[in-house]
Amino acid sequence: MNVSYEHRTLFRYEGPLDMQLLPQVIKSVEQLLIGEKIRTPLRRKIISILIELAQNVIHYGIHNHFLPNPTISLTREGNDIILSIANPIHASQELFLRTYIENLLAMSKEERTVLYQNVLTKSDYTDSGGAGLGIMQVLIKSDSFSYKIESLDPEHAYFTITATFHINNS
């Protein structure tokens, strides 16, 4: 029997992230996905999620030389593309993030979509001019989603979001 299993890192970045760097990251990832022959709808879906998550890191992450840097990684595992983004956060944000994400995970995809539309049409902008929809968007658009929050020290934690996309769904 011939079993083939593919696990390749397509892209990895570790370092400070800002709005000057983000377009270059997007361009690189887009070219890599084209090289992997990922069709337009899935490619654009992955890039959209990358933009949301990277902008969350830029807006809400902590930028401190004594803490681990943000990381972005894109891997291919067989017929899956896995996007993972991690960054340090204040430990005080952990409870909010866990509660928010667990509430979203408890919803069906349809319930999340209705909530997304409600927030889009009825809520105000966040202080940073955002819509507060980034993580919700990831849950709606990805085929599977996971997160972890690991303590770095009493005041800081490392927050990782991983979104998986099935290539067959494109």
Partner 1 sequence: MTPVLHIDPSLTTPEIHFDLEKGHFSIKGSSYPENSLKFYQPVVQYLADLVRTHTPSPEKTLILEIELQYFNTSTAKVLLDILRYFEQLYEKGQPVQVRWLYLEDDTEMEDAGLDYQAAVKLPFELVALHEEA
Residues of this chain that interact with partner 1 (CB under 8 A) are: 19, 22-23, 26, 39-41, 44-45, 47-48, 51-52, 55, 58-59, 117, 120-121, 125, 128-131, 133-134, 137
Q: How far is the CB of 38 from partner 1 (least distance, A)?
A: 12
> How many angstroms separate the Cα of 107 from the Cα of each of 56, 110, 142?
22, 8, 15
Bridge partners of 81, per DSSP, are 76, 165
Place of tokens 């397509």: 10
Report the alpha-carbon distance of residue 40 to residue 161 in Å, rounded: 23
Chain centre distance of CA 46: 9
Provide, rounded to whole angstroms, the least separation between the CB of residue 24 and partner 1. 8
State which residue, 41 or 78, has the beta carbon closest to partner 1. 41
Considering the complex, state which of residue 49 and residue 157 has its C-beta at the smaller distance from partner 1: 49
Q: Which lies closer to partner 1 via its Cβ, residue 8 or residue 122?
A: 122
